[in-house]
Structure 1
């Protein structure tokens, strides 16, 4: 199996790479190629590390020419901004859109076009619980995450006859470095989560692995929330 994972240098991306140990991996990083190379070596993964800024449309198009047929695409890549809508420059929304929606769409187009008609392709998109319920102070982020979910649900209907399954996961408060920047404390978050703990990156990775397995072979267009009952 050949699996492409975007955003593989982040905490969730690395967990997903470990979950697909044994596959021939293509791991994308934005600027942290050296970090990802060290991770691959330490984990003894069969992986090719590619550096590409997904926000840069020309760089994305050039990189895609090196991507041949794959069996799985796990789209973890993303960026993030905080702030009130009235205070945020509109180019912040454009920046988020290019990574969360445009680059995702282009990679899906490439992956589908590169495969034989009858070859199966599994796609999983890592969205966010904010794409489902929204968050004040993170309206731009919630917007592009909701767009990802719309894409997943619509494309599932279109792509099924072409042997393509596409699903999404919507993590809640996962204990990652990105969430260390959020003003709400972890203790307060834990109190609001019925399962009484923050999510772990492996909680997300295991669900993604399931969605790419034969056990989930009749699932497409599904949105699986991973938040411990938080939202």
Structure 2
């Protein structure tokens, strides 16, 4: 099996890479490409590194043209943005949109269009619980994450007859560097999580592995929340 992981250099991307370590991997990163090279070497992965700046539309266009046929695609790429809407610029919104929505859709267009009709393709998009319920001071981020979920639900209806399944996961507070804020914030969140712990990157990776497995063969357009009952 050949698995493409977009945004593989982050904590969740790394966990997903290890969850699919038996596959032939195509790993994407931009700033974190050195971390990916170390991961490939340290874990002895069968992997090809395909870097790209997802905010550069011309670079994305060239990148998708070079993409080989794959059996699975996991889109983990993204970054957070904190602050009030009135203090944020349209350039910041454009950057979020390019990474979370535009590059994702352009890549899916290319991968789906190039595959043989009878070739099965599993796609999983890593969105966020904020894409479902929204978050103050993360309104732009919540907006692009909600757009991802809208795409998943609609595209599942369109792509199902072409042997394509697409699903999404919406992690809550996962204990990663992106969420590594002050300890008081972590403790406040932890107090509100019924399962009594922060999520781990492996929790997300294991759910993605399930969605790409034969056990989930009748699931498409599904959104699975991974938040320990928080929201």
- Per the TM superposition, whether the score is higher than 0.5 is yes
Structure 2 residue matching 1:26: 3-state secondary structure:
strand
Partner of 1:63: 63
**What is the distance in 1 between the residues matched to 2:112 and 2:21?**
23
Deviates more, 1:148-157 or 1:182-191: 182-191
Partner of 1:48: 48
1:94-149 deviation per Cα after TM superposition (whole angstroms, max 9, x unaligned): 11000000000011001101110010000000000000000000000000000000
Shift of 1:182: 6.4
Shift of 1:80: 1.6
Q: Give the paired residue count.
A: 231
**What is the distance in 2 between the residues matched to 1:49 and 1:181?**
30
Please state if 1:138 is matched with 2:152. no
Would you say the 8 A contact 1:4–1:26 is kept in 2? yes
Shift of 1:63: 1.2
Partner of 2:209: 209
**What is the distance in 2 between the residues matched to 1:222 and 1:199?**
20
**What is the distance in 2 between the residues matched to 1:138 and 1:183?**
19
Shift of 1:181: 3.3
Would you say the 8 A contact 1:32–1:51 is kept in 2? no
**What is the distance in 1 between the residues matched to 2:192 and 2:228?**
10
Partner of 1:229: 229
TM-score, length basis structure 1:
0.98
Shift of 1:177: 0.2
Structure 2 residue matching 1:185: 3-state secondary structure:
helix
**What is the distance in 1 between the residues matched to 2:155 and 2:132?**
18
Structure 1 residue matching 2:28: 3-state secondary structure:
strand
TM-score, length basis structure 2:
0.98
Shift of 1:68: 1.5
Structure 1 residue matching 2:155: 3-state secondary structure:
helix
1:67-89 deviation per Cα after TM superposition (whole angstroms, max 9, x unaligned): 12110110000022111001111
List 4+ stretches of structure 1 deviating above 6 A. Answer: none
Structure 1 residue matching 2:70: 3-state secondary structure:
coil
